[in-house]
Structure 1
């Protein structure tokens, strides 16, 4: 039986992810002949196959079952000429790399990877957040299995690949028709699909789209840094790719300068967004020939740097305004904290005797109060200097590359320490005045002292983490410039450890311990 759309019950069950019903109906007589589903069940009137609808509905376990029943389903195309692999490459949320997660969610996701599925469902039943993460993990696993099967079953995606030559020349004709699954996966940022396709068919790295762009162009254009790192770390970047110029005369560096497709940057303010763009520009500049930086595109007749400055004018203005307002607000808070702790230094807890000596001078908490007050004063005045130096900056592009993010990171760090030290000094003062020997009283006062600091840390953690990440390249450069004294903490990246291991300067056990 068919409905008005040309769907059979088997087709309908696949569309709604009813895996058990699909399995039951598929086992009925005459549904499968010669290891293929009958034509009546394969496609409906709009051209979508039974596998297409399962993928579009994100019913990946059902899609896996269908593909095991009939491998030829992977080659069927819809009315737009897309295979199931092409549709899957358009769903980034189906994969871990395309699923946005917070730091806590990411850690919990990684923890669940070590737990058996049945144990997880039994142990965390009734925990909505954990159950949701577990379901997402199941979906990602099924989608990856499906992608691997489709890549091996669908032979159409690795045909007619245009090979790009040096200096932008190309051999053959670029891929026409619907976007190639590899280009689509690069555009949507699905790292897993790109990796599996390059492993299955390495020559596909030379694929060109109809505009003459290779996958490196596309990855840079859409800011897919994970895919860029994948290609770079595996040594895939060749002269053909780095010398590539599209039909508009855009080099790889022009793709960075053009922010038309900018959509995956930092959400923590325009200053960090501009910083990310500048760092991205510097990274891409290292993989192209040096003279390419002076080449002009065929449309606007601009070099990549000129195009970058022109396309990021509005972002620069927003970043300048954001940094000025943030620095002024933080300066006000830092001055307020400095005023409080400066006054506290002259009005010591308990007062002083006739000779001006503090009454609680020999108490342990008084020494603690003094230390915290000095730390609070020093760590509140220093950020004032940092934020004032920001306000007197030129606020040009070069300032946002390193100087301003570095000063903001240091200023936020010291401001947090000043607030924390102020609250600890307050707690020591209360304990001195109360003079209580009860453990419960001291514990309650300590909790009260840390409560506002904890709230401040939680509210600003994402912003602070973003600033720390923005200065990662600076800290890496500093650590690399330091001499080797046998201290493993200096080696914070895998490349350094691997280089030392190859030179036999690091033992095998230290190398695999991760330091």
Structure 2
């Protein structure tokens, strides 16, 4: 199952196993149906309040009971949906039944719904009496073949009937509970047509065995009726794809071998595309490459969730580590992705919104040179998108172009050049990767200045259709971020100033209140001890470094906070302030330990010195854990190699 990804659920836990999302709708529907059945709430899903017939219980009592059940069922559905699905269940005057149908319409493709409406074999009469099969169903659950055989002898039609309100047959029930021998006995007695019966969710007995992951039972069922390998569930998943979804790879390999190729291509290519995407998602690489080799067109075919393998591949940056040193098995996986790309690129004709995967861009551009010249609806090329979405690796590819100047000189339909786009605020998701508004502002300035180096000089002051220069666009779009950066800087500096001031006060007093006191002559008692010199030196370092820290942070508090200040001036001050504060805390602890040792040594209290040193290390450790990562990050972003690779080799 896919986890998730990006939207928080409305509660800490769902009513069922997982929150509803597009990838797990088929399973979620089964879980929720079972939950509602267990809570005696399913009747409000299959019929509404107006379905009360003459002779039923008193109208007022019925209405009250129905409203309570409807509210409970609707609440369970809503509490098990992620935010993306929640709006369709919260329309005005919506009932549990309407919410159930709305989710079905949202997550099951229209083509599948039309097919299901034509497939009457999947319809289960609501009025059927299943009580007559209770004993038989129980025997199937328990694997009691003796009792089951007795029932079959007196009711032979039971083999070909749905024996539960869920639409399950005896074979379904036996497969669900994993009774191997009973499955074999039933298959010997059942007709091929009976094996094709689906339950309420379109699951054949084979699909149920796939969910259980039992390859042996699946083999028996397929041997009896090969047609079932092509029968999809209500949610348009054929058994081999279902096996991948459940993570039963051995089962998937078997079903892939027995599934006819024509079921995966031609007019049924939605099954092939879905299988291909699932193979890639779950890293069943050999099957994905084999399927793609047999039918390359599946790379751009739509799967049942409306995506394609090309789009999925372009949206997973982790698949392309970008030149990092890899272990053997990681290198094998990495080699798989370029090989997959080379099979895909001959089928790419539409401009894809990149996701920062430079390898993807290079390979596709080599196979389809016109990709680099294609423009979107705003007449923006690939590098405009790289700037807009702040993808540094993709933008760095411009350094490896023979026609770099030509690419940097282009403009979009609104007469915006690359520098105008760099002046736009970065997407929220990209800004959130950087901690602190001040560092976010610094990164925005780094992007602007890097693009400024690329575009021709005459375009740096060019006006767009709104009569704004690139700098005007930058200033207008970053006003709020400048204010947030100022607040973040002042809050940080203010907190550190308080700490630094306390250390200055303590260290100044310690310099004249030495351990052991002074002799009559006024000199310290331990003046000739080497450890006393350590005490004095560390005290002086702590005093001077904390004083420097306070002055630096005061400088931050009184800065003008212009846009350019966030580029180097303010980060540099913060680096110096945090560094000197760290030294002052560390040397303060050394001063304290030296004073303790001078005072206690030789008086039978030396045993306490080790615990004191350990305790004294706690503040230093806390500073390292809490503030040192920030210090390193600021140093790297200000004086590090940067996020752009200007040494890209010529690739086009």
Same fold (TM over 0.5): yes
Q: What is the aligned partner in structure 1 of residue 619 from structure 2?
A: 452
SS of the residue corresponding to residue 286 of structure 1 reads helix
- Which whole-Å CA distance do the structure 1 matches of 2:645 and 2:614 have between them? 40
Q: Is residue 279–residue 287 contact of structure 2 (8 Å, CA) maintained in 1?
A: no
Q: Which of the numbers 573, 576, 581 marks the counterpart of 1:407?
A: 573
Q: What is the aligned partner in structure 2 of residue 288 from structure 1?
A: 455
Q: What is the aligned partner in structure 2 of residue 12 from structure 1?
A: 242
> Is 2:315 the partner of 1:90?
yes
- Does the C-alpha gap of structure 1 residues 470 and 11 become closer, same or farther in structure 2, counting only changes over 3 Å? closer
- Which whole-Å CA distance do the structure 1 matches of 2:236 and 2:267 have between them? 5
CA displacement, residues 133-188 of structure 1 (integer Å, 9 cap, x when unaligned)? xxxxx6x964x4453233221244454xxxxxxxxxxxxxxx5xxxx34xx3x3x2
Q: Is residue 5–residue 44 contact of structure 1 (8 Å, CA) maintained in 2?
A: no
Q: Which of the numbers 460, 478, 484 marks the counterpart of 1:312?
A: 478
Kindly state the Cα deviation for residue 393 of structure 1 after the two structures are TM-superposed. 1.6
- Does the C-alpha gap of structure 1 residues 326 and 41 become closer, same or farther in structure 2, counting only changes over 3 Å? same
Q: Is residue 328–residue 387 contact of structure 1 (8 Å, CA) maintained in 2?
A: yes
CA displacement, residues 431-489 of structure 1 (integer Å, 9 cap, x when unaligned)? 1111169997554333222221011110112211221123216xx79xxxxxxxxxxxx
Higher RCO (CA-CA < 8 Å; seq separation 6+) = 1
- Does the C-alpha gap of structure 1 residues 57 and 350 become closer, same or farther in structure 2, counting only changes over 3 Å? farther
CA displacement, residues 87-145 of structure 1 (integer Å, 9 cap, x when unaligned)? 22123455547xxxxxxxxxxx97xx54x77xxxxxxxxxxxxxxxxxxxx6x964x44
Q: Is residue 589–residue 616 contact of structure 2 (8 Å, CA) maintained in 1?
A: yes
> Is 2:312 the partner of 1:78?
no
> Is 2:420 the partner of 1:254?
yes
Tell me whether 357-366 or 464-473 shows the greater mean CA deviation. Answer: 464-473
Kindly state the Cα deviation for residue 203 of structure 1 after the two structures are TM-superposed. 5.6
> Is 2:289 the partner of 1:67?
yes
Tell me whether 422-431 or 441-450 shows the greater mean CA deviation. Answer: 441-450
Q: What is the aligned partner in structure 2 of residue 151 from structure 1?
A: 341
- Does the C-alpha gap of structure 1 residues 353 and 48 become closer, same or farther in structure 2, counting only changes over 3 Å? farther
Q: Is residue 51–residue 63 contact of structure 1 (8 Å, CA) maintained in 2?
A: no
Q: Is residue 56–residue 87 contact of structure 1 (8 Å, CA) maintained in 2?
A: no
> Is 2:510 the partner of 1:337?
no
Q: What is the aligned partner in structure 2 of residue 420 from structure 1?
A: 586
Q: What is the aligned partner in structure 2 of residue 25 from structure 1?
A: 255
> Is 2:263 the partner of 1:40?
yes
SS of the residue corresponding to residue 524 of structure 2 reads coil
SS of the residue corresponding to residue 370 of structure 1 reads helix
Q: What is the aligned partner in structure 2 of residue 432 from structure 1?
A: 598
> Is 2:357 the partner of 1:190?
yes
Give the alignment of 1:245-394 within 5 angstroms. 245-259=411-425, 261-265=427-431, 266-298=433-465, 300-394=466-560
- Which whole-Å CA distance do the structure 2 matches of 1:238 and 1:495 have between them? 12
- TM-score if structure 2 supplies the norm length? 0.57
CA RMSD of aligned residues (A): 3.2
Task: Number of aligned residue pairs: give it.
Answer: 411
> Which ranges of structure 1 fall in alignment gaps of 5 or more residues?
33-37, 98-108, 118-137, 160-174, 478-492, 499-515
SS of the residue corresponding to residue 213 of structure 1 reads coil
- Does the C-alpha gap of structure 1 residues 246 and 16 become closer, same or farther in structure 2, counting only changes over 3 Å? farther
> Is 2:582 the partner of 1:397?
no
Kindly state the Cα deviation for residue 353 of structure 1 after the two structures are TM-superposed. 0.5
> Which ranges of structure 2 fall in alignment gaps of 5 or more residues?
1-227
- Does the C-alpha gap of structure 1 residues 416 and 301 become closer, same or farther in structure 2, counting only changes over 3 Å? same
- Which whole-Å CA distance do the structure 1 matches of 2:507 and 2:606 have between them? 27
Kindly state the Cα deviation for residue 495 of structure 1 after the two structures are TM-superposed. 8.5
Q: Is residue 85–residue 147 contact of structure 1 (8 Å, CA) maintained in 2?
A: no
Q: What is the aligned partner in structure 1 of residue 165 from structure 2?
A: none
Give the alignment of 1:488-503 within 5 angstroms. none
- Which whole-Å CA distance do the structure 2 matches of 1:189 and 1:225 have between them? 7
Kindly state the Cα deviation for residue 228 of structure 1 after the two structures are TM-superposed. 2.0
- Does the C-alpha gap of structure 1 residues 74 and 351 become closer, same or farther in structure 2, counting only changes over 3 Å? farther
Q: Is residue 16–residue 54 contact of structure 1 (8 Å, CA) maintained in 2?
A: no
- Does the C-alpha gap of structure 1 residues 43 and 57 become closer, same or farther in structure 2, counting only changes over 3 Å? farther
Q: What is the aligned partner in structure 1 of residue 214 from structure 2?
A: none
